[in-house]
Amino acid sequence: MRFEVTVGKPAAGGGFVGRSPDGRVVFVRHAAPGERVLAEVTEENKSFLRADAVEILEPSEQRVEPRCVVAGPGGCGGCDYQHLSLDLQRELKAALIEEHLSRIAKIEHKVVVEPASADDDGYNWRTRVRFGIDELGLPSFHPHRTSELLAVADCPVAVDEIRSTGVMANRFDGVETLEVFGHPNGTTPVVNLTTTPRGFTHTPEIDGAGIVVDGSILQAPGRVKVTVGARSFDVGVDSFFQSHRSAAELLTRAVLQAAKLSKGDHVADLYCGVGLFSAAIGARVGSEGKVIAIEKNAAATADARRNCKDLAQVTILTESVNAKTIASLLPGTDVVVVDPARDGVGKPAMVALCNLAPRPTRLVYVSCDPATFARDVATAMEEGWKLTSLRAFDLFPNTEHVELVGVIEPQTR
């Protein structure tokens, strides 16, 4: 089904809101606010439609030419906004954050999305790229909301360290997924392969990279060492690390600024990953301070112990973050830092954090999902806290995604 439509505000999922001829809401990808487009329906539900803009009838002045040849309708589902100027992308992300805060947390908060760096042009930023492998053994991405595979010859948002390995020019027979981790401030990139039941048949030629197959190092190294400020972080292929090349340093500065730490403070770093914030916090509070860092991923906590081994004041625990661990491990904490996955902290854990006795002076919340962030802020407000500051960073250019650093404090302070 095709029809003409004028689209308006952005919606979660990378599309823009319009109305179909029968009155249903339609979420149109590859469009821009104010554009009149020819929309082709890709998914139909009783109350709404999803569609792609397959022809632009009245283009926006902020429309640009994507660098990626598969960034349009029917192509890769990764870059929602590659056809839009970076200025407009950031305005749209700010609008989505404000809408989530207003609708979910019932607060009005003006947001400005900051670039990751002054020279960030939206490309050459992603330090970790995951591919599916198609039936021909070719590295592929998924079109939007499908399990199909689309072979790709290049990915302009990936850092040069990944693109120069040549993985996208190789065939990987017997491989199910392929992930490449490389960083401009790091050592040799690592290619991490997961094989199919029929097995991995040969070692492809990959320039200047280590190769890990089903957890075993086939070609050294099996880890990436990344320099952030004055410290080096040892990161394994099974551990999360910020994907934007500037993110680790930028977020560390933002978290330290938000936390307002002093020597001797007791701090909790929840969802600590490989210890990125733990190390910086430990150095800031000094030997008289204390940092309890909690992460459920055992591979990540093993990395965190390596990365914080010179900081005796930092204790790394392999635990889930939940109401029980918060109540038992965190009383007496001055400041809490949380950096959860996309599903957020959740109500039970947020309630437990807000009711620690004595109350922490502040909660620094790092989030990659405005909706779950707003939900958790709403929970904190119910417990007598308030959102006192919020910064947003464009750490996922050419997509709808954004990173937040918020400060939540008790209202009685």
Residues with catalytic annotation?
A: 368
Distances (CA, A) of 223 to 209, 215, 239, 326: 10, 11, 10, 31
Bridge-partner residues for 178, per DSSP? Answer: 131, 193
Phi, psi of 385 (to 5 degrees): -115, 170
SS3 of 299-358: HHHHHHHHHCCCCCCEEEEECCCCHHHHHHHCCCCCEEEECCCCCCCCHHHHHHHHCCCC
In the sheet with 16-19, reading across from the earlier edge strand, the strands are 2-6, 36-44, 48-58, 25-29, 16-19
**Residue 367 half-sphere exposure, CB side, CA atoms within 13 Å?**
24
For the packed helices 247-259 and 276-285, what is the interaxial angle rounded to 10 degrees?
A: 40
Contacts of 367 (CB under 8 A, 6+ apart): 339, 340, 344, 373, 376, 403, 404, 405, 406
Please provide residue 33's backbone torsions phi and psi, each rounded to the nearest 5 degrees: -55, 130
CA-to-CA dists, residue 194 to 133, 180, 213, 215, angstroms: 10, 12, 6, 8
Are 30 and 51 in contact by the 8 Å Cβ rule? The answer is: no
